[in-house]
Chain A
Amino acid sequence: MRHNFIDRYANLDSPLHVLEARTKILGYLSLIAALLLMPGRNDVVLLVYAFVAAILVGASQVPLGYIAGRSLVILPFVLLAGIAAPWTNSFDGARFMALATRSFLSVTILLLMTSTTPFPELLRGLQKLGCPRILILNLGFLYRYLFVLTEEVLRMRQARDCRRAGRAPPRVELKLLGSMLGSLVLRSFERAERMYQAMLSRGYAGEFPVLAPRRFTWRDLTFLAGIALLIVSSFRYAGR
């Protein structure tokens, strides 16, 4: 099975991939915050942000279809807001469009961040930015164990499907799912403990090593300066 479905495009080699993890976390986070905190509904500023996001997507080598498909996760909320719109005191289509645009742009920026950074590097960046150690440890374990668990689930599902024909009534189905989940917890817990012991005995000290970590260079500085310039000038424009 495919083992890299969470950071599938993270090992390409584009102008965005060579940036350091901290740069990307800080840069994209401030871009999202600025986008959301922009006063009023300033359509021109939103357009400029869309423009910048499009340039970044183009520069990132990540396929356009992937970004477009993944950013559809916001659809349920947009639909709910759209359905609810007639009940608000004054239906305001422009405001609704601005909300949807902001939401869509933030998802795109978030996607750019995760699909241009390998997960271990992202963790290193978060740790250097002061994220609590236990969270970093836990995220590392999540990444490590996820594949083990997925394989276990696939094996269990195959075993269940081999032993039955058709579907049971919903009540029984849920109960079956419950005991499958229970035994999944047990099996993976026992396996996780063995793996943890093995990792400890091989010198694991709470950090997943990164081969040749990226350094903070002039490229990062340029990137951050560009983003700062964009944010400051857009706020000055919107504040007028």
Chain B
Amino acid sequence: MHIPDGFLSGRIWLSLDALSSVTVLYAARRLRVQASGHTVPLMGVLSAFVFAAQLLNFPVLGGTSGHLVGSALLAVLLGPLAAFLTMVTVLIAQALFLQDGGLAALGANIFNIAAVPVLSGYGIFRLAGGTQSHGRRLAIASFLSGWVSIELCALCCALELSLSGAIPLRVGLPAMTGYHAILGVAEGILTSSVLVFLSHTRPDLIRRGAGSRLPVADWVAVVALVAVPCAILVLAGSSNLPDPLQRLLASADPVYGRQGESEPFLSPLRYREFLRALTLIAGAIGSAYFLGRLMRGKRSKL
């Protein structure tokens, strides 16, 4: 789930933006060393593929719909570094063209949807022994990596939202992880059926991606850039904000501090006042729009 702008507090999105830009720069630099001429078109076409696959929705429970995320699939096909950068490309394109996820929240979305699921998907696929085997073992390994990656993604998202004070953990955690547990099944089945299909037709693709080992430097980077922030997020989010931390947050974030002194919203007495203000605001914004229209020049026919 892509987080839009406005739902994360400044502390969270600024620090995650910084973290993600370091991760992206690191991955880009490492990939320049490791990439072969084959990698560039494969990354390009897979990013277009994931972008297109995310446009195709399938119905889930109760009128909502979900789509393939594809982080685990990319991790298996490309290896973790290239898969991470491919996912980042997709996320930038989605933020720019579909407004899926905000610009300031891009760092958070990169962490949730690219860094964490790609690495967890890759790790679980290797742990479950998907690289050496065919058939059932491969199917199970890829199903697991798809499911777990989605679930971790939802977990990080819920933790960030609750730490920002937008959606409390009591509601956000069950809603996000429960919903994504269902989505994860679809993701797992799709991941495994695509990979089983590819293992019949082009087994070299799977072996080249997930079969490649991570050098030691990358392991260190993974721990520093993904695992440690993840642990911090879980510890800070799940501790249910005991008093000292809460006081610290209240002093750091002005929105937190002023919570107590707000007047009741929409009490009957304030209703007329509220309506009048609303009309005024709508009028002001409408006239601003028409003011802007005066400046826009002649519209060319296309």
Contacts and interface: CB of A to CB of B under 8 A. Distances in A.
B276 to A, nearest CB: 15
A138 B35 CA distance: 13
Interface stretch (B123-131, B148-156, B210-218, B257-265): B257-265
Interface in B218-239: none
Q: Label chain A's interface by main secondary structure.
A: helix
Contacts of B85: 134-135, 138
Contacts of A84: 167-168, 171-172, 175
A60 interface: yes
Contact of B93 (A90, A139, A179): A139
A184 interface: yes
Contact of A142 (B6, B7, B51, B300): B51
Contact of A110 (B89, B103, B190, B298): B103
Interface in B14-51: 24-25, 28-29, 31-32, 35, 40-49, 51
Which of B28, B29, B266: most chain A Cβ within 10 A? B28
A32 B197 contact: no
Nearest to B176: A80
A106 B193 contact: no
B40 A60 contact: no
A183 interface: yes
B106 to A, nearest CB: 10
A228 interface: no
A210 to B, nearest CB: 17
B117 interface: no
Contacts of B62: none
B285 interface: yes
A90 B297 contact: no
B289 A13 contact: no
Interface in A160-180: 174-175, 177-179
Contacts of A139: 47, 89, 92-93
Interface in B171-204: 171-172, 175, 186, 189-190, 192-198, 201-202
B86 interface: yes
Contacts of A148: 48
Contacts of B245: none
B13 interface: yes
A141 interface: yes
B49 A188 contact: yes
A200 B56 CA distance: 32
A193 B44 CA distance: 10
Interface string A133-158: 11101111111111011100100000
B232 to A, nearest CB: 22
Contacts of B138: none
B289 A192 contact: no
Contacts of B166: 81, 99
Given A32-B103, A99-B7, A142-B47, A182 B171 contact: no
Nearest to A86: B171
B194 A181 contact: yes
A127 interface: no
B262 A177 contact: no
A65 interface: no
A70 B263 CA distance: 33
A134 B32 contact: yes
A14 B294 CA distance: 11
Nearest to A80: B167
Given A139-B93, A150-B52, A59 B102 contact: no
9 contacts: A32-B102, A41-B258, A57-B292, A64-B289, A76-B1, A92-B265, A99-B6, A99-B166, A102-B5
Given A103-B102, A175-B189, 7 more contacts: A14-B299, A41-B255, A58-B294, A92-B265, A93-B265, A134-B31, A175-B193
Interface of B: 1, 3-7, 10, 13, 24-25, 28-29, 31-32, 35, 40-49, 51-53, 56, 58, 68, 77, 85-86, 88-90, 92-93, 95-100, 102-104, 166-168, 170-172, 175, 186, 189-190, 192-198, 201-202, 254-255, 258-260, 262-263, 265-266, 281, 284-286, 288-300, 302
Listed from nearest, the 8 A-B pairs whose CB atoms lie closest are A58-B292, A178-B193, A141-B44, A93-B265, A103-B6, A182-B197, A106-B5, A192-B45
